[in-house]
């Protein structure tokens, strides 16, 4: 699978259920290879492997993923913590079987670069800030999608 990284989380650890007293590490990232399709990727493994992999690329880089495990996602649980994707699958990466190679999008395919700027939600499924201000009371308690741009950071 070749795609551009459109989102990425920090590395985190969990107690290893199989080896009591040790930890397993993970992070998540989302790759996109077309305007319509993108998928979440979950690498798991030892701390050294996961930290090294996480530091090897950033949002906007192109990656080639070899030999991932394809797994059905549990929509209820997974979409609380990861971007909602159009696929009913996710990719799992393991230290022993999977390979992630990074390259410049210019080297791989300049079309992938344009995918960075496309929203991942249906354009009809957003509220503007003006709508939220005007209808704030009736929207109370609802989960909303907001499309906004950062004008400045200081």
- Backbone dihedral region of 21: left (phi > 0), alpha (psi from -120 to 50 degrees) or beta? left
For 1-113, give the CATH class: mainly beta
User: If you write DSSP's letter for every residue of 116-127 in order, what string do you get?
Assistant: GGS-SS-TTS-B
Tens digits of per-residue pLDDT, 106-117? 555 677 777 877
Tell me the domain boundaries of the chain: 1-113
Residue 119 has pLDDT above 80, yes or no: no
| Torsion, Cα of 17, 28, 120, 150 (10° steps) | 130
- Quick: pLDDT tens for 33-52: 888 899 999 999 999 999 99
């Amino acid at each position: 699978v070749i795609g551009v990284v459109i989102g990425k989380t920090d590395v985190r650890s969990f107690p290893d259920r199989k080896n009591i007293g040790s930890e397993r590490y993970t992070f998540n990232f989302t790759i996109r290879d077309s305007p319509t399709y993108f998928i979440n990727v979950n690498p798991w493994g030892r701390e050294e492997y996961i930290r090294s992999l996480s530091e090897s690329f950033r949002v906007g880089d192109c990656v080639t993923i070899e030999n991932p495990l394809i797994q059905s996602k549990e929509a209820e649980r997974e979409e609380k913590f990861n971007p909602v994707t159009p696929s009913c699958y996710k990719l799992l990466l393991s230290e022993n079987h999977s390979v992630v190679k990074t390259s410049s999008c210019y080297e791989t395919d300049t079309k992938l670069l344009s995918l960075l700027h496309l929203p991942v939600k249906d354009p009809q499924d957003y509220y503007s800030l003006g709508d939220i201000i005007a209808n704030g009371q009736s929207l109370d308690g609802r989960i909303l999608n907001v499309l906004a741009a950062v004008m400045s950071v200081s």
